Amino acid sequence: MKAALIGNGIAASLTPVLHEAEGRAHGLAYRYRRFDMAGAPEPAVALQDAVTEAKVAGYVGVNVTYPYKQQIIALLDDLSDGAGDIGSVNTVVFRNGRAVGHNTDYVGFHRAFVAKIGPLQHDTVLLLGAGGAGSAVGLAMLDAGVSCLYVYDRDACVADALRARLVRLRPQAQVLVWSGATLIDGVINATPMGMASHPGQAIDLDDVPHAKWVGDIVYFPHQTPLLHAAAARGLHVMTGGGMAVGQAAAAFELFTGLPADVARMTAHFHTLTQEVPA
């Protein structure tokens, strides 16, 4: 059984290791490789070539990460209801000659957010990044009890498009494009900023002086510059580890048809990163 991860700058990704270890625990001969498009001169062509190669080689599916979660949709035969709502795909299952897109980011982030942020004040939240990951993360937060969500993206049109999508999906929620000077309970980074391949942080925390907590979906490194800055201010932090494990577990189940042991995968993740469970 073979699967893969498609993305740009994914050499440090732990997804292959997590999948293969869970496969071994189930007695599977399961290989999970990377299609890293870093440096590809024509990203769209490289993406299509990678999908075609995986299908022809008999892969059960592929995971998709930055920056392809929305581009991949044009190459698929169908979408699950959740992926269609979110407008983003991070898991593609090949079955009966068809490629069907799913979104397990929503499940992974929702579980992590409820566990780590749920007990804290989270009525008003700032979401950084309105791309494929941001769409899943934004919807998950609304479903986890955030009543007012501010969206920020360097491209204001992209931010407004996500605002409109989320309002359509959850009309009872208040979703606005952030322009600063707003009381914010907490911040979630859903941009690639903080990854080894995208150094830096997506916001200066001076811009959200009243925030009580900060979360990041980046997990390599699991302590990003943004989280370091938040911890230095004494804020509660949520690393990207919970989402990483949750989405991987859900994708494993879609690929293999077997139940993933989330606790086992979480323990393995902590061992790999030396992250201490909160």
CB atoms within 10 A of CB 212: 17
What's the pLDDT score for residue 278? 46
Condensed to tens digits (0 to 9), the pLDDT of residues 244-253 reads 999 999 999 9
Domain locations along the chain: 2-104+242-273, 106-239
List 236's β-bridge partners, or say none.
213
What's the pLDDT score for residue 276? 53
Could you tell me which CATH class the domain 2-104+242-273 is placed in? alpha beta
Does 69 qualify as catalytic in the annotation?
Answer: yes
Please identify which of the residues 2, 55, 69, 116 carries the catalytic annotation.
69
Condensed to tens digits (0 to 9), the pLDDT of residues 66-114 reads 999 999 999 999 999 999 999 999 999 999 999 999 999 999 999 999 9
Distances (CA, A) of 187 to 107, 112, 121, 203: 19, 14, 12, 9
2-104+242-273 and 106-239, same CATH topology = yes
Report the sign of the C-alpha dihedral through residues 223, 82, 10, 177, in that order: negative
CB atoms within 10 A of CB 193: 19
What's the pLDDT score for residue 44? 77
What's the pLDDT score for residue 275? 62
CATH number of 106-239: 3.40.50.720
Please list the ranges in the chain whose pLDDT falls under 50. 278
Distances (CA, A) of 196 to 16, 175, 189, 222: 18, 31, 15, 10
What's the pLDDT score for residue 196? 78
SS3 assignment for 142-167: HHCCCCEEEEECCCHHHHHHHHHHHH
